Amino acid sequence: MTAAAVGLSHSPLIGKNDPDPQVVAAVDSAVDTARAFVRAFDPDLVVLYAPDHYNGFFYKEMPPFCLATEAHAVGDFGSSAGPLSVDTEAARALARGVLDRGVDLSVSARMTVDHGFVQPLEVLFGGIDQVPVVPVFVNGVATPLGPVSRIRALGTALGQAATELDRRVLFLGSGGLSHDPPVPVLDGAPPRVADALIEGRPPTPEQRARGEQRVIQAGRDYAAGSTTMIPLNPAWDNLVLDTFEQGRLADVDGWTVEWMGAEGGGSAHEVRTWVAAFASLAATGPYRMTSRFYAPVPEWVAGFAVATAEPSTGTAAEQPLREGESGR
């Protein structure tokens, strides 16, 4: 088994409320680097850790994380709809491997996913049916959230289980870093909204369009500085990226939900997907980050980051990232 990892922010506002062309070009260049990295690694299995935004998981039953043996996308924010090319056999083997290692994984035989899963597949592979994938939902939105140490344990167990497969496995984390987009909150929600968050009634096309328009408007307000949302936090985002780059994954066990929310906003918890992906890679052996990009993009309500990592050979030929490559 060989392994690699990519962390990639997502935003439903990409292409809908873009920043200056120079910022878009810088992001495109970083994404091109990640795409080239993935192409060179040529994975035959992608373990995709991603959050949901009340399209697939609801308060009626809200697991902290859940692995899918089949999945289909709803097609929100103009993202692709339809079945993902899930490798059911690999998914079942990984689920067994995680459970055998004492992590209480739940399994879905028909997971509904949204742009959180779809965007990285579209960006890196050109579609949701281009590569065998094992989708793993990681709750990063619906409070209460458990300790980050459990996400590291999930990633570690899944990485260890993957070593038993004869595959080239890419661990891919979708989301983060600091951002506070208008995602509904159950606590204090009016009865109609609370009911939708609990029961998961599919929105009508008009309701979906209104929700999407609300997010687009939020991006415009955020970029104009007229908002009550928590600001992007480049210092915190770079602390998070330093932690992954330096392989200090045990540090995340000390990250509290309250600290992450205060520093990075309500959706900063999506960075749990990166924790899982890097913990999985680390479980296969020492690694090194080969590229790192970061830009705060208010128009997308995103501390936007892209990073790639591969196993470290420990030889002198391996150079640490230089300033320009690190995006700092």
Ligand X SMILES: O=C(O)CCC(=O)/C=C/C=C(\O)C(=O)O
List residues binding ligand X (CB under 6 A). Answer: 10-12, 53, 116, 175, 179, 181-184, 211, 214-215, 267, 270, 301-302
Q: Nearest distance from residue 311's CB to ligand X, in Å?
A: 29
**Between residues 231 and 285, which has the closer beta carbon with respect to ligand X?**
231
In the set 10, 53, 72, 179, the catalytic residue is: 179
Query: Phi and psi of 256, rounded to 5°?
Result: -90, 155
Sign (positive or negative) of CA dihedral 147, 278, 135, 205? positive
- Please answer whether residues 287 and 281 qualify as being in contact, where contact means their C-beta atoms are separated by less than 8 angstroms: yes
- Please answer whether residues 60 and 198 qualify as being in contact, where contact means their C-beta atoms are separated by less than 8 angstroms: yes
Q: Nearest distance from residue 109's CB to ligand X, in Å?
A: 24
Q: Nearest distance from residue 225's CB to ligand X, in Å?
A: 18
Known catalytic residue at 115: yes
69, 159, 165, 286, 314 from 1: Cα distances, Å: 21, 10, 6, 14, 19
β-sheet bridge partners, residue 61 = 58
Known catalytic residue at 269: no
**Between residues 88 and 217, which has the closer beta carbon with respect to ligand X?**
217
Comparing every residue's Cβ against ligand X, the nearest one is: 211
Q: Nearest distance from residue 84's CB to ligand X, in Å?
A: 17
**Between residues 132 and 298, which has the closer beta carbon with respect to ligand X?**
298
- Please answer whether residues 269 and 64 qualify as being in contact, where contact means their C-beta atoms are separated by less than 8 angstroms: no
Q: Nearest distance from residue 76's CB to ligand X, in Å?
A: 6
**Between residues 175 and 327, which has the closer beta carbon with respect to ligand X?**
175
**Between residues 71 and 105, which has the closer beta carbon with respect to ligand X?**
71
In the set 10, 53, 72, 115, the catalytic residue is: 115
Active site residues: 115, 179
